[in-house]
């Protein structure tokens, strides 16, 4: 049963995120074990804990990665609840959506379109939302590189195009299918991450968990360019010459999300007409979905359906 301030949600669909791979592979610190993964949850509210007034039974909600933030630490007090000192994270430190039902903090869920396809909505809850935060940190530059053209990039590319930016998509070298997919979503250029784009970039967003992409992206951005790492985990970044960072290039990471990011992004996704490409798997085949993601065997996002 949901506790005070919590809700029980019947899961309609749950997206499979690369972070879930890091969780099951034990690559993140201080996990709660055992844990039910999954933090791109679309579902219907089934029961309310005491004191919950913000949602009603039967309403469709989205449950994101940020499961709870304390509301009173240094970061929460300065509009940065994504950096909260004592957060909980859905599918990492509290049970998530690889399930038929889940419990969420009612204050950290988002109302969702009641009639849209649940599978199509699920990837917006992390790939879309973290992609949006990553894009915001990259600034307003027109020429944007996306390194790793998976679930996040395929959404960000559509947002960039809607904003009038030019997308340069970088995939695993030789991955022609992913490059075609990027072009079909409006990328003006697509190539391997070992290639240089035809023009200097103003910003680069890195979604692949590959540290070697950091110096590669620094090489591709012009003076003042920003390189933003959107993932929670990455292999080590190889040493590189200071001249790659020189001339006010910068590297930063994005951590988690604020509820403000979610509200903003869900509005943008609607206005931009973002269409996700998904592959649905029955919940019982969750391990197969994770394996396919690991091997890059799908375009867009995998989504589990209980």
Among 21, 73, 210, 237, binds Zn ion (CB under 5 A): 73
Q: Is 48 an interacting residue with respect to Zn ion (CB under 5 A)? A: no
Contact 303, 296 (CB under 8 A): no
Q: Is 83 an interacting residue with respect to Zn ion (CB under 5 A)? A: no
> Smallest gap, in angstroms, from Cβ of residue 217 to Zn ion?
21
Among 8, 12, 19, 148, binds Zn ion (CB under 5 A): 19
- Only one of the segments 5-13, 82-90, 197-205, 265-273 lies at the binding site for Zn ion (rule: CB under 5 A); that segment is 82-90
Token readout for 252 is: 């930063």
> Smallest gap, in angstroms, from Cβ of residue 25 to Zn ion?
14
> Smallest gap, in angstroms, from Cβ of residue 232 to Zn ion?
8
**Alpha carbons 158 and 63: distance in angstroms, whole number:** 23
> Smallest gap, in angstroms, from Cβ of residue 76 to Zn ion?
3
**Alpha carbons 109 and 56: distance in angstroms, whole number:** 12
**Alpha carbons 103 and 36: distance in angstroms, whole number:** 11
- Dihedrals φ, ψ of 181, to 5°? -60, -45
Residues in 103-132 that interact with Zn ion by CB under 5 A: 126
Token readout for 196 is: 């240089």
Contact 45, 57 (CB under 8 A): yes
Among 9, 11, 41, 76, binds Zn ion (CB under 5 A): 76
**Alpha carbons 238 and 225: distance in angstroms, whole number:** 19
> Smallest gap, in angstroms, from Cβ of residue 37 to Zn ion?
10
Residues 133-155 as b or e (16 or more Cβ within 10 Å = b): bbbebbeebebbbbbbbbbbbbb
Among 7, 9, 11, 17, binds Zn ion (CB under 5 A): 17
Residues engaged in binding Zn ion (CB under 5 A): 17, 19, 69-70, 73, 76, 84, 126
């Amino acid at each position: 049963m949901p506790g005070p301030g919590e809700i029980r949600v019947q899961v309609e669909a749950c997206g499979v995120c690369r972070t879930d791979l890091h969780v099951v592979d034990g690559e993140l610190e201080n996990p709660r074990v055992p844990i039910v993964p999954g933090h791109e949850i679309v579902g219907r509210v089934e029961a309310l804990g005491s004191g919950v007034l913000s949602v009603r039974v039967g309403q469709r909600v989205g449950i994101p990665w940020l499961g709870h933030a304390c509301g009173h630490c240094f970061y929460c007090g300065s509009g940065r609840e994504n950096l909260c000192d004592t957060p909980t994270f859905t599918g990492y430190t509290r049970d998530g959506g690889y399930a038929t039902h889940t419990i969420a903090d009612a204050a950290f869920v988002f109302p969702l379109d009641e009639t849209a396809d649940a599978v199509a909505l699920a990837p917006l809850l992390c790939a879309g939302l973290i992609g949006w935060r990553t894009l915001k940190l990259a600034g307003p530059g027109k020429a944007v590189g996306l390194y790793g053209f998976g679930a996040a990039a395929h959404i960000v590319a559509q947002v960039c195009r809607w904003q009038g930016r030019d997308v340069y998509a970088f995939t695993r070298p030789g991955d022609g299918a992913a490059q075609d997919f990027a072009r079909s979503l409006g990328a003006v250029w697509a190539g391997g991450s070992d290639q240089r784009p035809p023009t200097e970039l103003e910003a680069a967003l890195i979604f692949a968990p590959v540290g070697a992409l950091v110096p590669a992206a620094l090489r591709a951005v012009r003076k003042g360019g920003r390189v933003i790492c959107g993932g929670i985990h990455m292999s080590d970044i190889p040493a590189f010459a200071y001249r790659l960072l020189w001339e006010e290039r910068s590297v930063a990471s994005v951590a988690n999300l604020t509820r403000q990011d979610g509200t903003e992004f869900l509005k943008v996704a609607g206005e931009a007409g973002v269409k996700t490409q998904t592959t649905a798997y029955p919940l019982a085949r969750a391990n197969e979905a994770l394996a396919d993601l690991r091997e890059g065997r799908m375009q867009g996002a995998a989504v589990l359906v209980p």
